[in-house]
Every structure is written in C-alpha cells, then in structure tokens.
Structure 1
C-alpha cells in the first residue's frame, strides 16, 4: 500500500475558500448563522492545530498518568458540551453526565487496548487517545439528543406525568415512557448509520486508514470494532446519564426541579 499523501498548508488554505458557499446560503436564506459559523470554523482551526502539536508531544512522551489525565479532560469537556447544548444547568447535571461517559468509556477502552488491538504498552497514546476521542465524540450527539428529548417530552406531556404521580406512581415508573422515548430517539441515527454502512457511506475511521495506506480489510476490522464499541458505549452512557439525571432533576415526591431552556 502507498504511504499517506501530505496536503500542503497553502493548498488547504485555498480549499477553505469553499466556506464562502455556506455563508452565501446563510445570507440568502437569512439564517442568522454567519457569525456562529465563522467562530466555529476559527475555533476548529486553532483547536486542531494546538491539539495536533500536543498529540505529537503526547505520543512521544507516552506516559500512562498523562494519558489518563487527558482522558479525564476529554470527558469533562464532553460533559460540558452535552449539558450546554441541551440548555440544562451545568452544576446540577455535571456529575450524572460525566459518570455516564466515564462508565461507558472505561470498560470498552480497557477491552480494546488489553485484548483486541493490544498495543505496546497497552496505554499507548497513539491508540488510546484517538479511540477514546472517537467513542466520546460519537456519544456526545446521542447524549444531547437523549437529554433534549427527555426534558422536551416531559414538558409537553407534563399532565400525563403528573397524573401518574398523583395516582401514587413512583418517579421511576412515571418517567419510564419519557426515558424510553429519549433512548429510542438518541440511538436511532446510529442504528440507521450501521444499517447502511458500506452501501451508502464509507465511515470515517475506515476511510482515514485507507487514505493512510492501510489494507482495506484491516481498515474494515478496525471500523467494525469501533462501531460496535460506539453503539455499546452510547447505550451504556445514555442509560446511566438519564437515570442519574432523573434522580437529580426530580424530587423523590415527584416535583420537577430543573428543566431545559432550549425553547426559550
């Protein structure tokens, strides 16, 4: 297989001119997203450049302690992003959401590093950090959708919830329909993606490895492994997240203590 083909910075800069197209669409339809789009692109450029430099240092250092600290930082940032996008109070839900991500990520990453990929050492940053990033990155969207749908359904069908509570139902029983709805909605995109993978889309990890010169069959094995891990982690993290969130957001007697401000 051929080695990876480098992209020069000037050519990448020229390619970025295509960003004018979404800005024109934004202007034409008056979407009001120009400022947010520009800020997001600039943040992406700066963050990826800094992370690229840091990861070069991290891969060379390859310290177990620093790798674990970096994973915790990734979880903390991911947690803040999930809660922020769901328009919920950070202080009240930081622990439930971060625990969901941590419990979902840790056993899967351990299995992959110790028994499946088996890098040397097992905490090799070149494998540990990118795989953790893929698992966390794909879980963010699912957790955001889960929280938005849970609190949205709870608000829209509040009379149904209050009727169940007034009839003596426990909080767990009264919120079960909303929890079930939230999990279904959050997992649906991943299930659809898995069902069409290889026919409609060539997933990112597989494509990246092929472009990097890997054998397509090896790339497929890695992609299968990571997709299974993503689906399992999303299922675990969303379930734990919602169950712990219910404990923090709803009083044992049934009174709702917090709610999303997404529609405000």
Structure 2
C-alpha cells in the first residue's frame, strides 16, 4: 500500500493554516509575522531544491558524490553552529567540522553496517536521510552546548580565573562548565527517548507507516534511529567542546576575547 499523494491544491490548503499564527501574532502583537513568512518561504525553496537534488542523487547513487554531499551538509552545519552562537568561525571551523565527522559519520557507518546491514554502505537512500537525522540533532546539541559553555565561562570569568590561580590546569578548570553544558545539550534527546511512542510518534516512524511499512518494522527502525541520534549527539557535543578549547584559550588557560564576534564587529 502506497502513501496517498498530496496534490498541489491540497498543499496550498495546508499553507492556509499559517493564517492562524499570523492572526495570533497580529492581535497579540507578537512581532513574528515577518519571521514566520520568511521562514516558511525559505522552507519551501529549500525543500523544492532538496527534492529535485535528492531525486538526482538517488538515481545516480554514486558513492563519491554521496560522500561529497555529506561533507557539504557538514560544512553547512558547522557554519550554522558557529554563526548562530556569535563566535569567530575562522578559529573554531576545523574543530567543529572534526566533531561532526567523528560524532556523526562514524556512527552512521556503524549503523549501516551492523544495524541496517546494507550491502552498499553508501547507498544514497539510506546514507543521506539517516545522516541528516544524526546531523540535525547533533547540530542542535552543539548550538546549546558550545553556546552555554563559552557564555558561562565568560560570565563567571573571575571564578574561572580563581580556579587557575589555585593551580588548576585548564582541563580541570573548564570541566565543571563542560559537564553542565553537555548535560544541558543532551536533555532534549533523553526526553525524546523517554516519551517516544506514548507522547509522540516521531517523523521517521510516522513516515514509514504512512508509506505502507508495518508498525513493527517502523518501530524497529525508530528505536535504532533514536539510539543512533543520542550516541551521535553525545559524541558530537563532547568532542565539539573539548576540541574548540584548543584554539579558544591561550597558553595560560585564559579565554581569548577575540573568539567572540562582538569583540571584532
């Protein structure tokens, strides 16, 4: 059984629902009308592009091209992470790329080899969507963890410097801040795992059921994906914090002010 098609007219009817949040924003003066319209417009353009592009990738199904596209996705995720948290992209570019590669690509290879058991590990229909789920969640984790880590150290600079003055090494002084930031970033993933199935039906599981897969098969995939997302997020945010500290602190363990964009602009 195939999923019911959504006509273009029906899609227009779906977008008419956006009138509700726009009216709410107008009457309550939330100020999100422009933001909503811009975001919806960007979503439409990006998904149209991705839809056509993925059709070509799936038809071509070339391992080298697929891997190149994954690297483009990593670059975009890296830029989004560093730019959104107001840090200097030149100083943190390579460490963040490294964290995304190790935290997502290695887990993806393990997933495709031992969980899905693919003959072709770089099959575009599995490689790109699964990697996208891993990358999207670890991107959100990195946004939270790295932002919180550097903001907290900056706000508590005197306490941090006091730890260094007592003889603590940089790794020892930053550990409490890293620990708190990592835990904060992992809370959404932990909450998702604990409520999936009862409180919510995730997108992948819902999509497979609508596409005609049995609920049992959809459940098995969803369990595997949730574990993969959680592990990749843990690895990415942990590596991301500790790798970026190599270029964001000086030889004395003091945080460099020039890693913050606000000190340059």
TM bucket normalised to smaller: over 0.9
Specify the alignment match of 1:50 in structure 2.
49
Deviation at 1:23, TM superposition (A): 1.9
Deviation at 1:116, TM superposition (A): 1.9
Deviation at 1:135, TM superposition (A): 0.5
Specify the alignment match of 2:158 in structure 1.
159
Counterparts of 1:83-232 in structure 2, within 5 Å, are 83-232=82-231
Residue ranges of structure 2 left out of the alignment (5+ in a row): none
Q: Deviations over 1:175-215 (max 9, x none)?
A: 11110010010001110111111111111111110011101
1:29 aligns with 2:28: yes
| Aligned equivalents of 1:32, 1:166: Cα separation in 2 | 47
Once structures 1 and 2 are overlaid, which stretch shifts more, 178-187 or 163-172?
A: 163-172
- Contact 1:148–1:260 (8 Å) recurs in 2: no
Specify the alignment match of 2:74 in structure 1.
75
Once structures 1 and 2 are overlaid, which stretch shifts more, 118-127 or 62-71?
A: 118-127
- State the SS of the aligned residue for 1:32: coil
Deviation at 1:260, TM superposition (A): 6.8
Deviation at 1:122, TM superposition (A): 2.4
| Aligned equivalents of 1:176, 1:259: Cα separation in 2 | 21
- Contact 1:151–1:259 (8 Å) recurs in 2: no
Once structures 1 and 2 are overlaid, which stretch shifts more, 31-40 or 15-24?
A: 31-40
Specify the alignment match of 1:237 in structure 2.
236
| Aligned equivalents of 1:159, 1:105: Cα separation in 2 | 36
| Aligned equivalents of 2:30, 2:86: Cα separation in 1 | 21
Q: Deviations over 1:38-69 (max 9, x none)?
A: 11111110110111011111001000100000
Specify the alignment match of 1:10 in structure 2.
9
- State the SS of the aligned residue for 2:250: coil
Deviation at 1:259, TM superposition (A): 3.6
- Contact 2:105–2:131 (8 Å) recurs in 1: no
- State the SS of the aligned residue for 1:252: coil
Deviation at 1:245, TM superposition (A): 1.3
Once structures 1 and 2 are overlaid, which stretch shifts more, 245-254 or 22-31?
A: 22-31
TM-score between the two structures when normalised by the length of structure 1: 0.94
